[in-house]
Amino acid sequence: MFIYRRIRDLREDNDKTQSQIAKMLNMQLTVYQRYERGEREIPFWVAIKLADYYKVSLDYIAERDFK
């Protein structure tokens, strides 16, 4: 199971629906929903598009902490 809490949190913080984000990524809603639920690993190109869209780093999306 993959953990992608951040993409759900970012989407909700920006008042977007899963449908809106799936459309922005040009993918089916069910595919995006599987990313948020951690049922599928997010491809690198999707992570990049999400980071650009939300204006955050890839490390933030991946929940990497360098402390």
| Length of the chain in terms of residues written | 67
Chain centre distance of CA 20? 12
Residue 64's pLDDT band (cuts 50, 70, 90): confident
Is 65 contained in some domain? Answer: no
What are the DSSP calls for 14-62, one per residue?
TT--HHHHHHHTTS-HHHHHHHHHTSSPPPHHHHHHHHHHHT--HHHHT
pLDDT tens-digit readout, 5-59: 899 999 999 999 999 999 999 999 999 999 999 999 999 999 999 999 999 999 9
Report how many domains make up the chain: 1
Is 67 contained in some domain? Answer: no
Q: What CATH number does the domain containing 13 carry? A: 1.10.260.40
Entry pTM = 0.88
Residues spanned by the domain of 53? 5-58
Angle value at C-alpha 13, between 36 and 27, nearest 5 degrees: 40
Is 64 contained in some domain? Answer: no
Identify the pLDDT of residue 4: 81
